[in-house]
């Protein structure tokens, strides 16, 4: 964050949010308004990402815009997809093992039945 003025205001606003004298959504609104009108903020390429991070920290999840929430959920879900596939493969292997065990048990029962008949 290159704008010292915005940084000081964010600290002040955050204290107000913590003391519950300012709504978190209002703080986010003030940050966005300042960033849209400040020359230093307009030149800062990292500012939108930093504002998004602060928004996630300050706003309760129900107040974060749905598009932002959805994109962060999608980002979080990607690594888990790989583990899900792995667990599916493990499940298939377990199913195959169980089927083999059932076949063996059935064969044992058949052998016992054959010996009873004689």
pLDDT exceeds 90 at position 90: no
Q: What is the pLDDT of residue 32?
A: 94
CA 26 to chain centre: 25
Task: From 68, 60, 48, select the one nearest 6 (Cα to Cα).
Answer: 48
* Measured distance CA(12)–CA(27) in Å, rounded: 10
Helix, strand or coil, per DSSP, at residue 56: helix
Q: What is the pLDDT of residues 34-68, one digit of tens each?
A: 999 999 999 999 999 999 999 988 887 665 566 55
Q: What is the pLDDT of residue 60?
A: 75
Residue 30 pLDDT class (50, 70, 90 cuts) = very high
Q: Domain residue spans in the chain?
A: 1-63, 65-118
* Measured distance CA(99)–CA(117) in Å, rounded: 27
């Amino acid at each position: 964050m290159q704008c010292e003025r915005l940084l000081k205001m964010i600290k002040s606003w955050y204290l107000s949010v913590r003391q519950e004298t300012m709504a978190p959504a209002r703080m986010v609104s003030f940050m966005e308004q300042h960033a849209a009108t400040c020359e230093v903020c307009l030149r800062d390429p990292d500012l939108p990402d930093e504002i998004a991070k602060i928004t996630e920290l300050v706003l309760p999840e129900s107040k974060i815009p749905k598009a932002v929430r959805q994109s962060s959920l999608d980002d979080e879900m990607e690594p888990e997809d790989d583990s899900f596939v792995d667990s599916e493969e493990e499940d298939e292997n377990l199913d195959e093992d169980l089927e083999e065990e059932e076949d063996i048990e059935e064969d044992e029962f058949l052998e016992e039945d054959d010996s009873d008949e004689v």
